Amino acid sequence: MPTRTVEYGVFLPVSSGGWIPSTTTPELDGSYAYNLEVTRLAERLGFDFTLSQAVWRGYAGPSHHFEVNLESLTTTAGLAAATERIGVWSTCNTATFHPAVLAKMIATADQISGGRTGLNIVAGGNRASETQMGLGASLSNPDKYRRAREWVTVCKLLWTEDGVDFDGEFFTLKDCQSKPKPAAGPPPMICAAVSDIGLRFTAEMLDGCLFEGTSRESMIEVGTRAKRIAEEVGSPLKTYCVFMVIPGETDADAQRRLDLYNAGRDTETMARMFAEHGNAAWDKAEFEARRAEWEKTTAVSTGTLCGSADTIAEQLADIIEAGRIDGAVFIMPDFIGDLAALGEAILPQLARHGLPGAALALD
């Protein structure tokens, strides 16, 4: 019998190319029609929520990775109207929307969805997305999270109080009105953060952290570090980890898929991604050394679980337990075929490992 709760989510491919910068993956066009189909399937399969990211610029490589990006909040509004049970969560970069605008968008999505909405915030996100709009680039990590603290505080005030006065370092509100309010108060809020400062902010202000890792060890490291920081600040913080699943009939079939996608790796895109996420503290020599190392990595790098249904279920259960993970958020090369395999053949097996499987399709 399951001994604890785990939430299962789908990280929607609202950006073209999904999460593998490669020319040999199934085409993901980043269209609303495709994401609607994926969300309806996820709902039928019993997943708890879908989440869409907030990206505004692609990497101009041969795979056209992230060239097309749906806007997250309006995608959520559409998906909320087209579904009945599943949670529909958005992402907002605190650099792009004023908190009073976001507070009202979420309150609106709350009505459309009947209380099924949630919010992932990024305190300062993909740099190229921001600099093209003249936003964010000047903020260091501590500054980003100071702004995020104010941003979240303002949202929560607007969701719960009338006539908000706020005199902060980044935001000033004078008798700011915001109705409607979310019916049950602030929605679930998480933050995509991996640094200690980001995790501390998340534990103090929000309900969950969202992270990824490139290996079993790195996922476990972030999950357990997040829980330790949460315990230090006395927070019941939930940990949500992103997993890439590549299922096959057999382990060998799945490995062939992985090899095919890696063979088409888009090194131009990968180099630009590295440049964007590289640490400002590195000098030129360290940057180049790390970049050379990173360029040798594979195109499929986010927390990859590859194999037969049995193999993936075993790997997943192991990381969820060892990493103290409360939510698994899935990405995959093909969000129809692979999602069906995940919901029908993999997650139901987690019960054997003492974890809940997603409540399977009712129809």
Ligand X SMILES: Cc1cc2nc3c(=O)[nH]c(=O)nc-3n(C[C@H](O)[C@H](O)[C@H](O)COP(=O)(O)O)c2cc1C
Kindly tell me which of 196 and 259 has the beta carbon lying closer to ligand X.
Answer: 196
What b/e readout covers 85-117, taking b as 16+ CB neighbours within 10 angstroms?
A: ebbbbbbbbbbbbebbebbbbbbbbbebbeebb
Closest CA to 57 of 273, 261, 268, 262: 273
Q: Binding ligand X by CB under 6 A: which of 203, 242, 254, 332? A: 242
141 near ligand X (CB under 6 A): yes
Kindly tell me which of 91 and 269 has the beta carbon lying closer to ligand X.
Answer: 91
129 near ligand X (CB under 6 A): yes
211 near ligand X (CB under 6 A): yes
Kindly tell me which of 164 and 210 has the beta carbon lying closer to ligand X.
Answer: 210
Beta bridge partners of 92: 121
Contact mark string toward ligand X, 163..202, x via CB under 6 A: -----------------------------xxxx--x----
68 near ligand X (CB under 6 A): no
Q: Which two tokens stand for residue 329?
A: 């958020």
Closest CA to 161 of 106, 235, 103, 89: 103
Q: Binding ligand X by CB under 6 A: which of 93, 94, 113, 239? A: 93
273 near ligand X (CB under 6 A): no
210 near ligand X (CB under 6 A): yes
Kindly tell me which of 194 and 340 has the beta carbon lying closer to ligand X.
Answer: 194
Contact call for residues 337 and 254 (beta carbons, < 8 A): no
Q: In the complex, what is the shortest distance from the CB of residue 362 to ligand X, in angstroms, rounded to a whole number?
A: 30
Kindly tell me which of 130 and 178 has the beta carbon lying closer to ligand X.
Answer: 130
Place of tokens 């490995």: 255
Kindly tell me which of 157 and 325 has the beta carbon lying closer to ligand X.
Answer: 325
| Number of shown-chain residues binding ligand X (CB under 6 A) | 21
Closest CA to 342 of 66, 45, 117, 79: 45
Q: In the complex, what is the shortest distance from the CB of residue 125 to ligand X, in angstroms, rounded to a whole number?
A: 2
DSSP alpha helix (H) spans, the chain: 32-45, 72-82, 99-113, 127-131, 141-160, 196-205, 216-233, 251-263, 267-277, 284-295, 309-322, 337-341
Q: Binding ligand X by CB under 6 A: which of 83, 126, 178, 304? A: 126
Q: Could you check whether the bond before residue 180 is cis, i.e. omega within 30 degrees of 0? A: yes
Q: Between β-strands 172-176 and 164-167, what pairing exists: parallel, antiparallel or unpaired?
A: antiparallel
| Residue ranges binding ligand X (CB under 6 A) | 53-55, 91, 93, 122-126, 129, 141, 192-195, 198, 210-212, 242
